[in-house]
Amino acid sequence: MALVDLLLLGAQKDPNSERGVSCTGELPASSDPKLIERAQIARKSLGSKAMVLGHHYQRDEVIDFADIRGDSFKLAQAAADNSDAEFIFFCGVHFMAESADILTGANQKVILPDLSAGCSMADMATAQQVNECWATLSKLNIAGKTIPITYMNSSAAIKSFTGKNGGAVCTSSNAERAMKWAFEKGEKVLFLPDQHLGRNTAVLKLGLSLKDCVVWNPWKINGGLTDAELISAKVILWRGHCSVHGRFSVENVTQVRTKLPGVKVLVHPECQHEVVSIADVVGSTEMIIRTVTESPAGSKWAIGTELNLVQRLANENPNKEVIFLDKAVCYCSTMNRIDLPHLVWAMESLVNGKIVNQITVDSETAKFAKVALDRMLALP
């Protein structure tokens, strides 16, 4: 079969069919004038046995139905804290739903309205690739003194690898503490899968130099590094990044400061090191929201994070000037796969007694992933 035929065959395949689930022909049309009413009726019918969680990067049409909105870890914690909710509709991406399944009780079921809502960053580190990297470090006799730190934006398999090998999970808000903890336990850190958060934390928070950091490229032999580079490095950064935050540039910062005098540039630590180094404020999603919300009337903010959140902050703070740092529009394409039709379909299916798109993590993977998550929770 020709390559083009194979590609077409793959494109026509329903990703849900392999999981015994298909919503073909069942999704309500996005133009359905009764869509909001259907969502309201389904949500009311499910009552307290269900909870809808909405990540900050979700569309407003989805956020409007969220019982709680937050970043990935806040939402996973919220699910775990509400043991009365038997069904968790996680409006986010796949790794977030996995984390919720790991942290919730056996009686709770996590539903991802669209199974194609993934995360490009999380997909940049597979279990096989990470195991191959660890094998190289073991061969060089440095794995024993290397502590893996895995960003929350990673698959359950990578979190499990981290738990098995003495490491912890971190979020963008506690990456500094997690990396300090790692250096208290070992001499090196393997930071997965976002190189920018790892580099920014190591250099701008811990005072290490750029020369102390090397980047492991999983597509190259030996990660594209010499044995000497791996042995001398203090931080081994995985070659991964966020497709949204990675696009912001120094030019964006320069242009917005020229265009809008008095503006403060506020960016997420997943942005490139050169951008973070010249920003006025750097912080996690929750910190970005808090900074803008608590700022005085009349303040001006150019924000380097996902556009849905920036637009929402602008709408919720009409007495301030809030703009997107990049001149080009850029939503998170995978996060945007969760829309109101998918949420309505998932809720109505449950009302009719059918659970769709349930996310489950096998017990062995979940066991060690939870070890890594619990280590993070234990950090001061």
CATH number at residue 211: 3.40.50.10800
User: Does the residue 280 lie in any domain?
Assistant: yes
The answer as to whether 12 is a domain residue is: no
Cα 288 to Cα 197, 250, 310, 341: the distances in Å are 16, 19, 10, 29
Indicate whether 126 and 238 sit together in one domain: yes
pLDDT at 6: 31
Of all helices (H) and strands (E), which one includes residue 303? Answer: strand 300-304
pLDDT confidence of residue 15: 37
What's 154's DSSP letter? Answer: S
Percent of the chain predicted with pLDDT > 90:
76
Angle at 203 between CA 199 and CA 208, to 5 degrees: 120
Averaged pLDDT, 89-114:
93
Residues 46, 59 within the same domain: yes
DSSP 28: P
pLDDT at 344: 96
Q: Is residue 16 a part of any domain in this protein? A: no
Q: Specify whether 259 is located in the same domain as 306.
A: yes
Looking at per-residue pLDDT, the higher value among 306 and 296 belongs to: 296
- Segment 138-164 mean pLDDT: 97
Same domain, 139 and 214: yes
- Least confidently predicted of 23-32, 158-167, 232-241, 278-287: 23-32
> What was the pLDDT predicted at 158?
97
111 bridge partner residues? 89, 358
Examine the pLDDT at 7 and tell me if it is beyond 60.
no
Mean predicted confidence (pLDDT) in 38-67: 94
Q: What is the mean pLDDT of the chain?
A: 90
Residues 201 and 126 in one domain: yes
Angstrom distance (rounded) from CA 285 to CA 270: 10
CA 136/CA 130 separation, integer angstroms: 10
Considering 242, 261, 292, which residue would you say is the last residue of a domain?
A: 242
The identity of residue 214, as a single letter, is V
Indicate whether 196 and 294 sit together in one domain: no
pLDDT for the residue numbered 25: 60
In this prediction, residue 23 has a pLDDT band, given cuts at 50, 70 and 90, of low
- Cβ proximity of 99 and 156 under 8 Å: yes
Q: What is the mean pLDDT of residues 193-197?
A: 97
The reply to whether 257 falls in a domain is yes
pTM reported for the whole predicted model: 0.87
Give the pLDDT mean for 295-321.
95
pLDDT at 376 over 80: yes
Q: Nearest CA to 96 among 153, 151, 171, 51?
A: 153
194 is a domain residue: yes
Q: Which of 193, 158, 157 is nearest to 362 (CA)?
A: 157
CA atoms within a 13 Å half-sphere pointing along the CA-CB vector of 232: 9
Same domain, 107 and 49: yes
The pLDDT score that the predictor gives to residue 16 is: 39
For residue 18, the model assigns a pLDDT of 38
Q: What is the C-alpha end-to-end distance of the chain, expressed in Å?
A: 57
Same domain (yes/no): 304, 341: no
Q: Tokens 């090196």 appear where?
A: 188
Mean pLDDT over 332-337 rounds to 79
Q: Residues 261-298: pLDDT tens digits?
A: 999 999 999 999 999 999 999 999 999 999 999 999 99
Q: What pLDDT score was predicted for residue 30?
A: 80
pLDDT of residue 2: 36
Residue span of the structural domain in which 179 resides: 122-242
Annotate 330-367 with b (16+ C-beta within 10 A) or e (fewer). Answer: eebebbbbbbbbbbbbbbbbbeeeeebbbbebeeebbe
Choice between 379 and 319, residue whose per-residue pLDDT is larger: 319
Is 134 in the same domain as 87? no
- Name the band, by pLDDT with cuts 50, 70 and 90, for residue 24: low
Identify whether residues 238 and 250 lie together within a single domain: no
The upper half-sphere exposure of residue 142, i.e. CA atoms within 13 Å in the direction of its Cβ, equals 19
Range of weakest confidence among 180-189, 334-343, 348-357 = 334-343
Of the candidates 242, 261, 281, which is a domain's last residue?
242
The count of domains in the chain is: 3
Beta bridge partners of 195: none
Token digits for 238?
Answer: 């995985």
What tokens appear for 14 in the block?
């329903």
Residue 23 placed within a domain: no
Residue that terminates a domain, selected from 324, 344, 372: 324
Q: What is the C-alpha to C-alpha distance for residues 287 and 273, in angstroms, rounded to an integer?
A: 19
Higher-scoring residue by pLDDT: 184, 15: 184
Q: How far apart are CA 366 and CA 93, in angstroms?
A: 18
Is residue 330 over pLDDT 80?
no
In this prediction, residue 356 has a pLDDT band, given cuts at 50, 70 and 90, of: very high
Q: What's the pLDDT band for 335 if we cut at 50, 70, 90?
A: confident
- Higher-confidence residue of 300 and 330: namely 300
Predicted confidence at residue 32, as pLDDT, reads 85
- Looking at the structure, do residues 131 and 199 belong to the same domain, yes or no? yes
Contact 263, 302 (CB under 8 A): yes
Q: Does residue 379 lie within any of the structural domains? A: no
For residue 10, being part of any structural domain is answered with no
Peptide bond into 33 cis (omega under 30): no
- Is the pLDDT assigned to residue 86 strictly greater than 80? yes
Q: Which residue has the tokens 């690739």?
A: 129
Residues 230, 128 share a domain:
yes
Looking at residue 204, what DSSP letter applies?
A: I
